[in-house]
Amino acid sequence: MSSRPRYPHIVSSQITPEPVWRSRRLWMQQMAGLAAGTGLGGLGAILPGSAAADTLPAIAGLQANPEYAAAKIDRKLTTEKDVTSYNNFYEFGTGKGDPLDYAGKMRTSPWQVQVSGEVEKPRTFDLDELLKLAPQEERVYRLRCVEAWSMVIPWVGYPLSALLKQVQPTSKAKFVQFITDMQPEAMPGLRDRIIPWPYREGLRIDEAMHPLTLLTFGLYGKRLPNQNGAPLRIIVPWKYGFKSGKSIVKIVLSETMPQTSWVAIAPSEYGFYGNVNPDVPHPRWSQSHERVIGGGFFDPKVPTLKFNGYGEQVASLYSGMDLRANY
């Protein structure tokens, strides 16, 4: 056994060998654990807990989708550092820096996703299977948070419809629910009762099947860092960020509208649709403008676009609907 070579003889110079990144990642996780354990959570900012970007593996076979190239968006890409250090992932705490500081302990392998409910072929998928289910594309999308800030992010993934087609939704499948993993030993936020855990989000079936809706495995050409929802998440670019569940373990198709976390907590502040809409203010702030992350300190906020700029592709999904009532 010991004579078996540990490394392949030919390694693409682009790719860090798996044992190396695994051990690096483990070391990083241990450092993050140490930092958290000694109450020096701030150390995480110096020793990024979950994923110094260079330790994450690249996604094989990745092709940029020219339809969603960076050049098509009139705004600069948000830096990888900002994308991976300013996150809402309440399982790790409500601070924007908490996910970076604490998500390193989350176990992301092995990982399975159970797809059930109104489907002809309910199935549990292994992550490796999902990674290869459809060609991986890079797509640059705007991300608009309900808290009135925004980023521009090069995601990697493929349309969620590719997965849903595999399980064959029945005629009764009207909605799709996404459930985030719960790992009490790794997620200090689960001890706070801010949200009735696990985190749940959902879409109408036509929204879930829409070609913009991305089953997402990476960003900036590499696998997702833990704080961004590793190993796979949903990205729905025309909706506020909270609709795009992270670290998904279950997908349930149903006939009735599923319960979603923010609607359960504060129905007057968050609706099931969560479509980006500058005309419908949040009760505690206006949604008409947004702070562009990475802009200059004195840069003014910029106007928010209806459907986050994706109206041409998605407005027809809501024709005849009162978007003020269905926010």
Partner 1 sequence: MFESIKSSRGATSLRSGPPARRRWTAAQVGRVKPVVFLLCLLPFLRWFYLGYNDGLTANPVEFITRSSGFWTLAMLLLTLAVTPIRQLLDQPALVRVRRMLGLFAFFYVVLHLLTWVVLDRNMDISSMITDVLDRTFIFLGMAAFLLMLPLALTSTQGWMRRLGRNWTRLHKCIYAIGVLGIVHFWLMRAGKNDFSEPILYGTLLAILLLWRIARAWRARRLAAA
Interface residue with partner 1 among 124, 286, 321, 326 (CB under 8 A) is 286
The one segment of 78-86, 122-130, 161-169, 180-188 that binds partner 1 by CB under 8 A:
78-86
CA distance 89 to 98: 8
Of residues 156-195, those binding partner 1 (CB under 8 A)? 192-195
Structure tokens at 295: 């802009």
**Smallest Cα–Cα separation from 81: which of 225, 217, 187?**
225
60 versus 265: smaller Cβ distance to partner 1: 265
CB of 84 to partner 1, least distance (A): 9
Residue 241 in the binding site for partner 1 (CB under 8 A): no
Q: Is 17 exposed, middle or buried (0-12, 13-18, 19+ CB in 10 A)?
A: middle
Say whether residue 283 binds partner 1 (CB under 8 A).
yes
Report the C-alpha gap between 103 and 227 in whole angstroms. 5
Instruction: Give the binding range for partner 1 (CB under 8 A) out of 2-10, 53-61, 244-252, 290-298.
Output: 290-298
285 part of the interface to partner 1, by CB under 8 A? yes
Phi-psi region of 257 (alpha: psi -120 to 50; beta: other; left: phi over 0): beta
Q: Does 82 bind partner 1 (CB under 8 A)?
A: yes
Point out which span in 26-34, 65-73, 158-166, 295-303 binds partner 1 (CB under 8 A).
295-303
277 and 325 in contact (C-beta within 8 Å)? Answer: no
Regarding beta strands 137-144 and 63-64, do their DSSP bridges make them parallel or antiparallel, or are they unpaired? parallel
Interaction between residue 61 and partner 1 (CB under 8 A): no
Distances (CA, A) of 319 to 93, 209, 314: 38, 17, 10
The rounded radius of gyration (Å) of the Cα atoms in the chain is 20
Least distance (Å) between residue 282 CB and partner 1: 8
Token output for 29: 């996780």
Q: Which of 154, 231, 294, 309 binds partner 1 (CB under 8 A)?
A: 294
Among 33, 57, 97, 198, the residue binding partner 1 under the rule CB under 8 A is 97
Residue from 16, 29, 50, 85 binding partner 1 (CB under 8 A): 85
Note whether 279 binds partner 1 by CB under 8 A.
no
Q: Does 77 bind partner 1 (CB under 8 A)?
A: no
Please name the amino acid found at residue 132.
K
The token pair at 292 is: 């562009």
Query: Are the C-beta atoms of residues 249 and 319 closer than 8 Å to each other?
Result: no
- In the complex, minimum distance from the CB of residue 285 to partner 1, in angstroms, rounded to a whole number: 7
Torsion of CA 127, 48, 53, 112, to 10 degrees: 0
Residue 16, φ and ψ in degrees, nearest 5? -75, 130
- Find the shortest distance in angstroms from Cβ 266 to partner 1: 6
Q: Does residue 86 belong to the site contacting partner 1 (CB under 8 A)?
A: yes
Smallest separation (angstroms) from partner 1 to the CB of 283: 7
Instruction: Count the neighbouring beta carbons within 10 Å of the beta carbon of residue 290.
Output: 23
3-state DSSP assignment of residue 137: strand
The stretch near partner 1 (CB under 8 A) out of 4-12, 178-186, 297-305, 311-319 is 297-305
Chain positions contacting partner 1, by CB under 8 A: 81-82, 85-86, 94, 96-97, 149, 192-195, 265-266, 269, 281, 283-286, 288-289, 291, 293-294, 297-298, 300-301
